[in-house]
A = this chain, B = another copy of it.
Amino acid sequence: MPKQVDHQERRETIARALWRVVERRGAVHLTMREVAQEAGLSHGAVQHYFTSREAMLTFAMDFAAEQTALRVGRGVQELGDRPHPRDVLRLMLMETLPLHADARATSRMSAAYVLEALHDKNVHARAREGMRQGRALVEQLVRQAIADGYVDPERDPAVETDLLLALTGFTPLIELDVIRPQDALAAVDQYLDRLFDKE
C-alpha cells in the first residue's frame, strides 16, 4: 500500500517541521502556514493532511510520544536481559527531561500541549489519555519491582508512581537554567537510590 505509507510519511515530515518551529520559536505563535513553510510544502498541502491546527498539534504530540517510547525501548534493549527496574525508570525519566535535543523538542511540545489542553476539551482528553497510559506503565514497573523484592513492600505503589512522575518538574528548572542538567540527574539518582534501598 504505497499510498498509505506516503500519507504517513508526509504527516511525519510535517510533524518534524512542527517540532523544529516549536523548538525555535515556541508554540505560542504556531500557525499551519509557518509549519508548511518549514516543511517545504504549500499551506494547502498541510491542510490536506490536517484539518486544523489542533489536529496537526495532536498528531505531532502523538508522534513525539511514539519516538520517545522508541528511544526508551532501544535503551532498555541495551540494558540486556532482565534489566534492573531502577535502570528502566531512570531511562524513562532521562528521556522525559529536556537533556538532549530530541527530548527537549518533545518536552517543549508537551508543555505547549498541556497549556492548549486547558482551553480545548478534545486536546485535554487526548493529553490526559496519553499521560494516563504513561502513568500506568510506570505503576506497572513499580508494582513489579516491589513483587520482585527490589523495593520495600511497605511502599505504596500508587504514591511511588505519582512521586516519580512529579519528578518531571525538573523540566522548567532545567529550561530556565535554575538547576543544571547534571544536578537534576544527581537528584534523580539519589531519589532512585532511596526508592530501591530497602531500609
A interface list, Cβ under 8 A from B: 24-28, 108, 111-112, 114-119, 124, 127-128, 131-132, 135, 156, 158-159, 162-163, 165-173, 175-179, 183-184, 186-187, 190-191, 194, 199
CA–CA, A175 and B131, complex, Å: 11
Asked whether, in the complex, the Cβ of A28 is within 8 Å of the Cβ of B166, the reply is no
Taking A169-B170, A170-B166, A170-B169 as contacts, is the C-beta distance between A176 and B124 under 8 angstroms?
yes
**Other contacts beyond A25-B119, A162-B173: 20, CB < 8 A:** A26-B116, A28-B28, A28-B119, A111-B111, A111-B114, A124-B176, A127-B176, A128-B176, A131-B173, A131-B178, A135-B173, A159-B183, A159-B186, A162-B170, A162-B184, A166-B167, A166-B169, A166-B170, A166-B187, A169-B169
